[in-house]
Structure 1
Amino acid sequence: MRRLSALYWLLLCDVAHSASLLDRGQYLVEALMACDNCHTPRSTEGYDYSRRFSGGSQVFTDKDYSVRGSNISPDLESGVGPWSDAELKAAIVSGVSPKGRLAPVMPSESYRALTPNDLNAVVAFLRAKRPIKSDAPPQERHGALEPRRAIPGAETPLSDAGLADPLQQGLYVASLARCMSCHSGETDGAPDPERRLGQGGRIFRTPAGATVASNITSHPTKGVGAWTDQELKRAIIEGTGRDGKPLAPTMANLSKAHFSKMAERDIEALIAWLRTTPPKE
């Protein structure tokens, strides 16, 4: 009887752990990493969740590649179903699939900071989704596909203990949410978070027109140094500027679909970390 009771509690603990892991994975994928943005097809009404993770609609083209967000559902033929957990993790944090290096539009440099527990949670969540078969055209990759640079301090996995520090937590959120992938200035056509962290200037071309990523350093006039915490919070989770008007589509869309789901602790930590970025014009 005691043995059965012990087994029962072990099973309950295992179920609780699995549920907790899936919940954490969902939060990371949906609120911070915004995986749907590239890997789920969309229409004018937003994401098509009936085909979630079956591959994105947008095509990214460069001299070395022409790709779209691939099928990351657990489909055995067109998705990542046959991949091992190690292979899926390598794609997420190293940008390497079983077939070779991924195009750098896969922001693996932003995910290198994932703690081991959080990386396990992301994989568990993706494994639990419905497999969707897709017939997207093959990816075209050629030339040198070099990985991009991570935010200083987020080049390797952070630890759960380290995230108890609010500034480390803010750095972690900024990395996973790819804030500096969009808002850092570019050198040789790639974001340069080492020398131009948060400086802005990158041009995004959308159906609504071209927009320029803004300066989010602590500079008092060129950046967001003079913004209040509440103004920064609204920009992040509501996609509105200081004047209350909507920000450009790329940021506004991410805010509405993803960053609005951020936990209060993560928002506060992110804002605190942004305050520490060196001012740049």
Structure 2
Amino acid sequence: MGTLFRMATGVLLMAQIGTSSGQDVARIARGKYLMEGVVACGNCHIARGEKGEPIFSRGLSGGMVFDEPPFKAYAPNITPDPETGIGKWTDAQLGKAIREGIRPDGSIIGPPMPIEFYRRMSDADLAAIIAYLRVQPPVKNAVEKSKYNIPLPPNYGPAVKGIRAPSPKETIKYGEYLANIGHCMECHTPRDEKGMLQLTRLGAGGQVFKGPWGESVARNLTPHESGLKGWNKTEIALAIRGIGKNGAHYKPPMAFDWYKNINASDMNALVAYLGSLRPQPFAGRE
């Protein structure tokens, strides 16, 4: 079914591209690469079965549950369905939701949506993602509203605009940019007792994730003895794609099915950025 859905999506994309300008074609292609690669929105927003398996035939219609002590959140439907998805949202409203965490009705989007990191997304990449979402097949799927046992912030900061991505020639800076829009540190940085990221321990890992796969612990991404010190670039790149040094496949919720599509140049930048992090001891249990 996954192959069939991708074929159907491809047909729809081609139909859209056939009536689009060259600029639109390039924007949709960039959005497709981001969404199916480093940004990996589908890792949360794709429909899931009872065992957590992706249901590709239902696309980005949401429903994945995040059941944690601070909240029980449901990934919303982000297909262009006008009743249960984003079909009635304007591009500006969709951009504000993605990058600022504010819905069209003014309500705040709570965790696990990584708004703090998406605020650093460039205007061009935001526009590309919106263009890609617009050409997805609409799927009618009403998703429950998330419930929070913690107060949500009134906002995540001032309005965001005028953001430009670093040049890919600035390898480490561009790698940091990719890590931000890929929200790597959302999972690989420890949290305090209030659930806030401990940014002074950026990349030190330790967060525990429970799901149909059992339990997984976020690894230390810094060049510390308990992290990636001694790993070569190829090993780190394979790990990002889901394969450990011993050849075993890592557990979810890391978005391996999407990260495997990151191109070699971007992967090189990501690996270079991780190597530039301040070494930190592992923040979790061994």
**TM-score using structure 2 length:** 0.83
| 1:261 counterpart residue number | 261
| 2:129 counterpart residue number | 122
Which consecutive unaligned segments of at least 5 residues does structure 1 have?
A: 1-11
| 1:54 counterpart residue number | 61
The CA deviation at 1:69 is: 0.5
| 1:5 counterpart residue number | none
The CA deviation at 1:26 is: 0.6
| Alpha-carbon distance in 1 for matches of 2:170, 2:198 | 22
| 2:9 counterpart residue number | none
| 1:243 counterpart residue number | 246
Higher strand share: 1
Considering Cα pairs closer than 8 Å and 6+ residues apart, tell me whether 1 or 2 has the greater RCO: 2
Structure 1's 129 and 91: CA in aligned 2 closer, same or farther, altered over 3 A?
same
| Alpha-carbon distance in 2 for matches of 1:69, 1:86 | 21
> Which of these two proteins has the greater Rg computed from alpha carbons?
1
Q: Percent identity?
A: 32
Structure 1's 280 and 97: CA in aligned 2 closer, same or farther, altered over 3 A?
same
Match of 1:92 among 92, 98, 108: 98
The CA deviation at 1:190 is: 2.8
| 1:232 counterpart residue number | 236
Task: Say which is worse superposed, 130-139 or 206-215, in terms of deviation.
Answer: 130-139
When the two chains are superposed, the root-mean-square deviation of aligned CA atoms in Å is 2.5
Residue by residue over 1:122-144, the C-alpha shift from the partner in whole angstroms, topping out at 9 and shown as x without a partner, is: 00110111211113233334652
Structure 1's 178 and 169: CA in aligned 2 closer, same or farther, altered over 3 A?
same
| 2:279 counterpart residue number | 279
Report whether the alignment pairs 1:27 with 2:25.
Answer: no
SS of residue paired to 1:205: strand
| 1:186 counterpart residue number | 191
The answer (yes or no) to whether the contact 1:173–1:270 under 8 Å persists in 2 is yes
The answer (yes or no) to whether the contact 1:180–1:193 under 8 Å persists in 2 is no
| Alpha-carbon distance in 2 for matches of 1:199, 1:163 | 26
The answer (yes or no) to whether the contact 2:77–2:142 under 8 Å persists in 1 is no
| Alpha-carbon distance in 2 for matches of 1:107, 1:157 | 20
Paired residue total: 260
Structure 1's 48 and 102: CA in aligned 2 closer, same or farther, altered over 3 A?
same
SS of residue paired to 1:21: helix
Task: Say which is worse superposed, 75-84 or 258-267, in terms of deviation.
Answer: 75-84
Structure 1's 141 and 206: CA in aligned 2 closer, same or farther, altered over 3 A?
closer
AA of the residue aligned to 1:207:
P
The CA deviation at 1:189 is: 4.2
Which consecutive unaligned segments of at least 5 residues does structure 2 have?
A: 1-17, 282-286
The answer (yes or no) to whether the contact 1:54–1:73 under 8 Å persists in 2 is yes
Report whether the alignment pairs 1:223 with 2:227.
Answer: yes
SS of residue paired to 2:227: coil
What pairs with 1:3-22 in structure 2 (closer than 5 Å)?
A: 15-22=21-28
| Alpha-carbon distance in 1 for matches of 2:149, 2:229 | 42
Match of 1:71 among 64, 70, 77: 77
The answer (yes or no) to whether the contact 1:39–1:70 under 8 Å persists in 2 is yes
What pairs with 1:81-230 in structure 2 (closer than 5 Å)?
A: 81-99=87-105, 100-141=107-148, 143-146=150-153, 158-160=163-165, 162-190=167-195, 192=197, 194-219=199-224, 221-230=225-234
AA of the residue aligned to 2:276:
T
The CA deviation at 1:226 is: 1.2
Residue by residue over 1:233-260, the C-alpha shift from the partner in whole angstroms, topping out at 9 and shown as x without a partner, is: 11012x1222222223323xx21x1010
**TM-score using structure 1 length:** 0.84
